[in-house]
């Protein structure tokens, strides 16, 4: 059924969450390292921590940067990049900060929570590869401090990504959620915006979500990569 909807839709938008990343093997940062389990991320992932406790802040993000360097896009990410080339899908809205969609070759990606692939200077905004954190280097050539290009606690979503996601959700004829419990606001409003704008809504997630009642199709307890691979082979056969 989903492959028919995908083939028939003139504008398909994908929305991805943590479940997409965990299939790459990337551990959730809360369980990644016992050391951080005792820390409250809402205390650590803040500009307050960057400005007053920079060594601990950098150490925390250094572990997460090492995580995304160690793991990479899986089959599911690659299928989505391929589908974009074939214009089967038109964009991806993601809550993930690992940058795996871009790494897999996807072009039109709205990274709602930013990306861990880059750092930028708090003072002059100059961009750097997050490789610098691996070397525990966090000072810009202007003397400012480098922070990851993700949203920290209390910060609002990046305007460009938010606006793009909003427009894409409105344009969608088919909107497919992959691996998100849709519990984080305001990102979770996009499936409903799509639905209200007339899109068919599909939710593929390990567990039930509060938005399942609005969906035209719900798939639970399946690996996203496998579902995408199945659809991809059905599309190739037809």
Cite the annotated binding site by residue number. Answer: 18, 22, 29-30, 95, 97-98, 113, 121, 124, 140, 142, 180-181, 205, 224
| Residues contacting 211, CB < 8 A, separation 6+ | 177, 182, 188, 191, 192, 201, 203
What is the 3-class SS of 163-184, one letter each residue? Answer: HHHHHHHHHCCEEEEECCCCCC
Stretch that binds Zn ion, among 74-82, 88-96, 133-141, 217-225 (CB under 5 A): 133-141
CB 62 within 8 A of CB 44: no
Q: Are 118 and 105 in contact (CB under 8 A)?
A: no
Contacts to Zn ion from residues 3-62, by CB under 5 A = none
Binding mask 140-179 for Zn ion (x = CB under 5 A): x-x-x-----------------------------------
CB of 63 to Zn ion, least distance (A): 24
Question: Are the CB atoms for 6 and 90 separated by under 8 Å?
Answer: no
Distance CA 96, CA 2 (A): 24
Which of 35, 123, 134, 184 contacts Zn ion by CB under 5 A? 123
Residue 128 beta carbon to Zn ion: minimum distance, rounded to whole angstroms: 9
Q: Does residue 120 interact with Zn ion by CB under 5 A?
A: no
Pick 112 or 150: Cβ nearer Zn ion: 150
For position 119 contacting Zn ion by CB under 5 A, the verdict is: no
CB of 194 to Zn ion, least distance (A): 39
Catalytic site includes residue 74: no
Catalytic: which of 52, 77, 113, 120? 113
Give the nearer residue to Zn ion in terms of CB position, either 50 or 140.
140
Residues that bind Zn ion (CB under 5 A): 121, 123-124, 126, 140, 142, 144
Q: Which residues are catalytic?
A: 113
């Amino acid at each position: 059924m989903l492959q028919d909807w995908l083939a028939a839709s003139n504008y398909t938008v994908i929305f991805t969450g943590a479940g997409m990343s965990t299939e790459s093997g990337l551990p959730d940062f809360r369980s990644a390292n016992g050391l951080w389990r005792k820390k409250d991320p809402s205390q650590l992932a803040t500009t307050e921590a960057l400005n007053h406790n920079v060594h601990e802040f950098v150490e925390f993000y250094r572990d997460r940067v090492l995580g995304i360097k160690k793991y990479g896009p899986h089959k599911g990410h690659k299928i989505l990049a391929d589908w974009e080339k074939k214009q089967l899908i038109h964009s991806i809205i993601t809550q993930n900060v690992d940058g795996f969609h871009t790494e897999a070759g996807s072009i039109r990606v709205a990274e709602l929570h930013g990306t861990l692939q880059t750092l930028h200077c708090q003072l002059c905004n100059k961009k750097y590869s997050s490789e610098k954190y691996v070397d525990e280097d966090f000072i810009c050539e202007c003397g400012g401090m480098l922070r990851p290009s993700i949203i920290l606690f209390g910060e609002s979503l990046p305007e460009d990504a938010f606006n793009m996601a909003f427009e894409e959700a409105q344009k969608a004829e088919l909107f497919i959620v992959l691996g998100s419990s849709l519990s984080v606001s305001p990102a979770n409003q996009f499936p409903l915006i799509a639905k209200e704008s007339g899109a068919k809504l599909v939710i593929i997630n390990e567990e039930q979500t509060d938005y399942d009642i609005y969906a035209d199709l719900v798939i639970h307890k399946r690996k996203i990569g496998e579902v995408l691979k199945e659809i991809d082979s059905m599309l190739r056969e037809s």
